[in-house]
Every structure is written in structure tokens, then in C-alpha cells.
């Protein structure tokens, strides 16, 4: 046995309590309070120190150890204020004043004063968005605590004699010795059906100037991921509208597909195009901006608005100018919103842009809390930081509503180094990655998808039968072209078969190029791929291949609606129907080439 007094809690036979009052209590009241403390804490002796405090406005407050019992008028007002904050009042309505009076009257009439029993502690140190608190012994990780000045914080570190709290407000008004109370509630965000179309902060507050958002519920930002038995296999396409991705690296509903690459290589563009492509498909989209410039977030919102995609999109923003605590909370808040819609049986797409900055914010908080740094100064649990976030994305069984969350996390690399700490962590968590290469981007190949390093671990299971059949050997042909291009760049004498392979490869590269904000529908992609596999883009000058593809798809949409409708309805590509597409493309190619020849003459 050890005699170390730190090992076991000391058994006390004496307690000192503090009583704050406006009107000094008489001996009978003091004796009743003393008996209450003895019975509550099981001690034979109690010493009560009494102090006058006019700010209580009436009543009294009793503090014993790290607990506080509030019977004051000030506490009564706080309870009333809390009730009113939960009341649903439209402050913009013409009868707002009458609503407020009505709610006030109802709340006051039905209000019953209850003694608030709260566990309290005191700030010992504050700075850089973090406060250290002593005196609270029973708080749990992720619990919200309330400072005396109304600012809230979240428990991030629990030690034997103190805990670390990250702040959700301005630390300038928090001083050493300030009282802090437990709220017994998890950090969460208010959710509702009116969130699509809005831009909100990481705490759920509207920041788009469009007024108040009507909320319908509350969800904790941290929530256990669905169990394996609750999940449905990923077999339904989540079409991005980007030909290079939907054909070679298909994404399914409920999948987590990483978008990774250097800065300014088109990562956000792929995510935004995917959101735009969900228009009129019943998919709710959540775009989480972490550590981005406010102007960048505004630009994304403007692009979505312009393309009619904002109506089904929620933007959760924690910009670079905001504290690390809000950047840390943002992706969890976005996922809570996504889960709200998933529980209704809806399909949700969530984009985390980007998790590199999220990890940096967590590293900053952890170092300020005094945690031991590990590789690249990240704390030891940085893997768990993202695994518990991304595991919440899944597709639920039909018996649970059949909703899904599809995640597109974004990671920024430095000079293409995918072996760095955070990239390797997230790669091991996700179901595949789309690697964007800087060299391809600057060559004008956009999206700059590296075919060799990109993969989807769901693969053809998330493709329609038509798309799977139309894709054929596209990825192999591209890989062979890349290899052949390297070996023949210094050769001038090439055999016809090699020349044909190179010409076909260059045409494939051209048709896979795609402008931002111009997603292709599944039928349009199938037509392009069928034509490419038949080498129908050969014979067209390489600088005109893209224009021919654009004109061809316009012709199909306007004059061959049966092809579009057949693919949309049946989502299959039987040989006879494939032959019809090939014949249509060949006829239009002859017509198009004749038109180009007449223009040059």
C-alpha cells in the first residue's frame, strides 16, 4: 500500500462553505443550511462564511467545495432568460413586440423558481483561445462550460487537478479567478429544414445577412458513427458530372473519396462541380470551409448561386481569421447537419475544405493545452481526430431510412508529397483518393487527375451498367499512352500502330478536359466514352477535339432525345443501342468535318 496522499481522495471531517446574501440570514436559516451541508456531504463539522453581495438582487447563493446552489433573484433571471432564448419568436415580423410580450407573460406565469445546483471552478490561466480551470472534477470531454461573463467554451483536456477549455468567444473579457460553471450538455448545433441556401458559422449562426434561421432541433457535434450492421453496401452512384472521375474513379453514395493535391491544382473546383451536379437530384450538400479566406468562401457561394446550386447547399464557414476553436468545430458541426438530413432518409454530400487546416488548428489547441507533441508536432490522437469524423459518412440500411452521407475530404500536399503525416492518415481512412498533379494542371490538363495514383476502392460497384460498359479500357489506354509518350518523345520514325495509339491517347486527354462549372450528365458521358472507345475522335485536329465533343453533345441533346431518355431510364447499354450511338456519332462527325472544311475554304 502507498501512503501517497495523491493516490486516494482524502476523507474529510470538515467543510468550509461560503454564503452570499443580500439580507443577512437569521440563526434558524443558518442552522438549516448547516444541516443541509452535513447531510449532503456526510461531514460532522461545517463552517459557513457569510458575505454580503448586493448584485444578487435578493435571495442567496451557497458555495460548497466546487458546487454552487443558487437561490438568488439573479439566478431566477438567468433561468428566465434561458427559457426565452428557447422560445420561437420571429423578431422580423410586424407583430414581434406582441409575440415577445405574449411569450414573456406565459413564461412568467408558468415559471417555477428552482434552486440551481451547479458544479463550478475558477480560471487559473487564459490566453490564445484556451483557458485552464481548476475546481471542476466531474466534467466530461466535449462538455460546454459557461463563464461568468456569458462566454462559452468546450472541455478539451481533463487532468487530475485541472481541465483545459477552448473558448468560443473573445478571451479579452476572461480573467484569472473568474467563475466557470458546468452546463451538463454536449457541444452541439441547431438544425432545421431551412438550412439549405444559407451560410452559417461553425456555431450555427447565420452570417449571410438573410436574417434568422428557423431551427427544428438540436444535434451534438460529436456523435458515434453508425455500426457495421446499420450500414448498407455502397452501390448507388454519386455522379460528380466530371467525366475523368465518373468513368475511372466512380464515387458511390455513402463513400468517402479523398481529393488530394498541391495548392492551386483545382481541388475545390472538383468539389464545387460535384455540388452543382446534384441540382434536381434530391441530394442535400454541405460545404465546410475550414481556414479559408472569407473572399474564397464568398466566391464559392457566388458560383453556387449562379449555377442554381445554392438552394440545396449549406455552407459552414470558419475562416482563417477566426479562432482555432471554431476551425476545429466546423467539420463536426457540418457533419451534424448532414446527419440531421440523413436521418430523414435523404442523401447528403459533404465537402471538407480542407482537413489539412483542420489538423493544424487541432495541433495549435493541443500544444496550448500542454499536450506532448509527436510527429510534425501533431498530438498523438490526430489520426482519431479525422477517423471519428469520416466514419460518420455511410449509407444506412433501408430499415433505418436508407439515407446516406458521402464525404469528399480535401487535403493539401506540399510539392506532391503524399507520404506526409496528415495525407497518409486520411488516405488510410478513406475509400480511395483523387490525386491532382501540379504538372498536369500547368500543362492545361484540367481536372489534373493523375490516373496512376488515383483510385476508388468501391470501383464499378458504384457505377450504372451503362457507364461501366461505356468506360471499357479507358484507364488502361491512358496508361499505355503515357508510357508510350515517354518512350517515343525522342523518336522520329514510328510505325502506324504506335502513331495510332499516340493519336488516340491525345484525343482521350482532350475529351477528359472539362471547364469549371460545366458538369456532364450520365448520358452525355456515356456518349463521349462510346465514341472514344470506337476511336471516333481520331481524324479531327487535336486543337478541335474539344469543340467537336461540345457540338456533338449539343446535337445529341437537341435532335436525339431518345438516346438521352433511354440512358436516363434504363441506365443500360445493350449492344444494339450502343451501335445506334456509334452510327449517330459517325454521321454527325462526317457532317461536322464537312462544315469545318467549308469554313476554311
Are 238 and 252 spatial neighbours (Cβ–Cβ below 8 Å)? yes
Residue 421: Cβ within 10 Å count: 15
DSSP per residue over 168-232, as a string?
Answer: SS-GGG--TT-EEEEEEEE-EEEE-TT-TT-EEETTS-B-SSS------EEEES--PPPPGGGB-
User: What DSSP character marks residue 464?
Assistant: -
Q: Tell me the C-alpha distance between 243 and 164, whole Å.
A: 48
Q: Tell me the C-alpha distance between 244 and 514, whole Å.
A: 9
256 catalytically annotated: no
Question: What spatial distance separates the first Cα and last Cα of the chain, rounded to whole Å?
Answer: 102
Look at residue 76 and give its three-state secondary structure.
helix
| Catalytic residue from among 457, 475, 506, 578 | 457
**119, β-bridge pairs:** 67
DSSP per residue over 40-75, as a string?
Answer: HHT-SEEEEEEEE-GGG-SSEEEEETTEEEE-SHHH
Cis peptide before 154 (omega within 30 of 0): no
Sheet harboring 347-353: ordered strands across?
199-201, 313-318, 283-290, 347-353, 404-413, 258-262, 432-436, 455-456
Q: What are phi and psi of 296, to 5 degrees?
A: -70, -45
Q: Tell me the C-alpha distance between 576 and 254, whole Å.
A: 34
Q: What are phi and psi of 164, to 5 degrees?
A: -105, 135
Q: Using H for helix, E for strand and C for coil, what is the string for 120-158?
A: EEEEEEEECCEEEEECCCCCCCCEEEEECCCCEEEEEEE
Q: What are phi and psi of 16, to 5 degrees?
A: -105, 125
Nearest CA-CA partner of 25 in 64, 68, 58, 73: 58
Q: Tell me the C-alpha distance between 259 and 330, whole Å.
A: 19
User: Which residues are known to be catalytic?
Assistant: 457
Amino acid at each position: 500500500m502507498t501512503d501517497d496522499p495523491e493516490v486516494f481522495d482524502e476523507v474529510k471531517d470538515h467543510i468550509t462553505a461560503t454564503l452570499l446574501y443580500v439580507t443577512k440570514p437569521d440563526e434558524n436559516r443558518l442552522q438549516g443550511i448547516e444541516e443541509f451541508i452535513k447531510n449532503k456531504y456526510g461531514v460532522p463539522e461545517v463552517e459557513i462564511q457569510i458575505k454580503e453581495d448586493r448584485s444578487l438582487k435578493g435571495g442567496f447563493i451557497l458555495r460548497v467545495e466546487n458546487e454552487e446552489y443558487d437561490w438568488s433573484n439573479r439566478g431566477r433571471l438567468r433561468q428566465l432568460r434561458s427559457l426565452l432564448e428557447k422560445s420561437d419568436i420571429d423578431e422580423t415580423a410586424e407583430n414581434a413586440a406582441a409575440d415577445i410580450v405574449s411569450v414573456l407573460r406565459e413564461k412568467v406565469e408558468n415559471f417555477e423558481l428552482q434552486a440551481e445546483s451547479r458544479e463550478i471552478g475558477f480560471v487559473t490561466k487564459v490566453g490564445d483561445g484556451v483557458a485552464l480551470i481548476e475546481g471542476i472534477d466531474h466534467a466530461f470531454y466535449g462538455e460546454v462550460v459557461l463563464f461568468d461573463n456569458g462566454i462559452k467554451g468546450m472541455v478539451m483536456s481533463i487532468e487530475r487537478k485541472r481541465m483545459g477549455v477552448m473558448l468560443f468567444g473573445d478571451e479579452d473579457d476572461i480573467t484569472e479567478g473568474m467563475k466557470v460553471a458546468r452546463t451538463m450538455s454536449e457541444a452541439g448545433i441547431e438544425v432545421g429544414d431551412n438550412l439549405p441556401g444559407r451560410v452559417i458559422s461553425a456555431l450555427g449562426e447565420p452570417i449571410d445577412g438573410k436574417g434568422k434561421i428557423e431551427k427544428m432541433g438540436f444535434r451534438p457535434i460529436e456523435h458515434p458513427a453508425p455500426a457495421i450492421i446499420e450500414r448498407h453496401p455502397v452501390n448507388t452512384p454519386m455522379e460528380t458530372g466530371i467525366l475523368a472521375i465518373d468513368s475511372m474513379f466512380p464515387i458511390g453514395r455513402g463513400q468517402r473519396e479523398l481529393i488530394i493535391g498541391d495548392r492551386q491544382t483545382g481541388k475545390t473546383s472538383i468539389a464545387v462541380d460535384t455540388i452543382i451536379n446534384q441540382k434536381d437530384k434530391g441530394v442535400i450538400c454541405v460545404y465546410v470551409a475550414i481556414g479559408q479566406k472569407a473572399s474564397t468562401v464568398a466566391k464559392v457561394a457566388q458560383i453556387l448561386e449562379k449555377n442554381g446550386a445554392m438552394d440545396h447547399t449549406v455552407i459552414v464557414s470558419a475562416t482563417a481569421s477566426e479562432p482555432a476553436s471554431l476551425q476545429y468545430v466546423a467539420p463536426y458541426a457540418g457533419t451534424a447537419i448532414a446527419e440531421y438530413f440523413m436521418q430523414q432518409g435523404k442523401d447528403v454530400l459533404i465537402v471538407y475544405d480542407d482537413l489539412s487546416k483542420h489538423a493544424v488548428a487541432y495541433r495549435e489547441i493541443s500544444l496550448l493545452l500542454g499536450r506532448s507533441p509527436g510527429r510534425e508536432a501533431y498530438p498523438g490522437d490526430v489520426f482519431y481526430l479525422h477517423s471519428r469524423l469520416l466514419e460518420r459518412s455511410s449509407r444506412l440500411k433501408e430499415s433505418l431510412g436508407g439515407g446516406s452521407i458521402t464525404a469528399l475530404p480535401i487535403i493539401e500536399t506540399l510539392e506532391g508529397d503524399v507520404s506526409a503525416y496528415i495525407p497518409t492518415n486520411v488516405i488510410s481512412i478513406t475509400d480511395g483518393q483523387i490525386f491532382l498533379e501540379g504538372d498536369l494542371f500547368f500543362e492545361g490538363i484540367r481536372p489534373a487527375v493523375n490516373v496512376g495514383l488515383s483510385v476508388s476502392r468501391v470501383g464499378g460497384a458504384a457505377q450504372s451498367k451503362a457507364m461501366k460498359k461505356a468506360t471499357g479500357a479507358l484507364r488502361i489506354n491512358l496508361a499505355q499512352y503515357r508510357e508510350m509518350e515517354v518512350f517515343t518523345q525522342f523518336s522520329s520514325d514510328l510505325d502506324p500502330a504506335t502513331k495510332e495509339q499516340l493519336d488516340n491517347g491525345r484525343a482521350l486527354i482532350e475529351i477528359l478536359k472539362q471547364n469549371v462549372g460545366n458538369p456532364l450528365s450520365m448520358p452525355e458521358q456515356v456518349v463521349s466514352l462510346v465514341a472514344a472507345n470506337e476511336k471516333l475522335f481520331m481524324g479531327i485536329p487535336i486543337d478541335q477535339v474539344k469543340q467537336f465533343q461540345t457540338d456533338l453533345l449539343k446535337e445529341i441533346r437537341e435532335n436525339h432525345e431518345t438516346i438521352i431518355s433511354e440512358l436516363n431510364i434504363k441506365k443500360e447499354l445493350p449492344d444494339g443501342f450502343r451501335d445506334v450511338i456509334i452510327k449517330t456519332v459517325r454521321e454527325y462527325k462526317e457532317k461536322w468535318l464537312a462544315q469545318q472544311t467549308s469554313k476554311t475554304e
